[in-house]
Amino acid sequence: MADDKQEIELMALLQDEKQKSKAFNQVVLKYQQQLYWQIRKMVLNHDDANDVLQNAFIKAWNAIDSFRGESKLSTWLYRIAVNESLTFLSKQRTLHIGDDLEDVMINKLEADSYFDGDELQLKLQKAILTLPEKQRLVFNMKYFDDMKYEEMEAILGTSVGALKASYHLAVKKIEAFFEEEKTL
For residues 58, 142, 149 and 177, what is the CA-based torsion angle, rounded to 10 degrees?
Answer: 120
Nearest CB to other proteins, comparing residues 2 and 29: 29
Nearest Cα to Cα of residue 81 among 39, 49, 25: 39
Nearest CB to other proteins, comparing residues 67 and 143: 143
Nearest CB to other proteins, comparing residues 4 and 116: 116
Minimum CB–partner distance for residue 79 and other proteins (Å):
18
Minimum CB–partner distance for residue 24 and other proteins (Å):
6
Positions that interact with other proteins (CB under 8 A): 21, 24-25, 28-29, 32-33, 36-37, 40-41, 46-48, 50-51, 53-55, 57-58, 61-62, 114-118, 120-122, 124-125, 143-144, 171, 174-175, 178-179, 182
Q: Please name the amino acid found at residue 8.
A: I
Distance, in Å, from the CA atom of 154 to the CA atom of 77, rounded to the nearest integer, reads: 11
Minimum CB–partner distance for residue 166 and other proteins (Å):
15
Distance, in Å, from the CA atom of 184 to the CA atom of 176, rounded to the nearest integer, reads: 13
3-state secondary structure of 69: coil
Q: What letter would DSSP give residue 127?
A: H
Minimum CB–partner distance for residue 157 and other proteins (Å):
25
Nearest CB to other proteins, comparing residues 70 and 118: 118
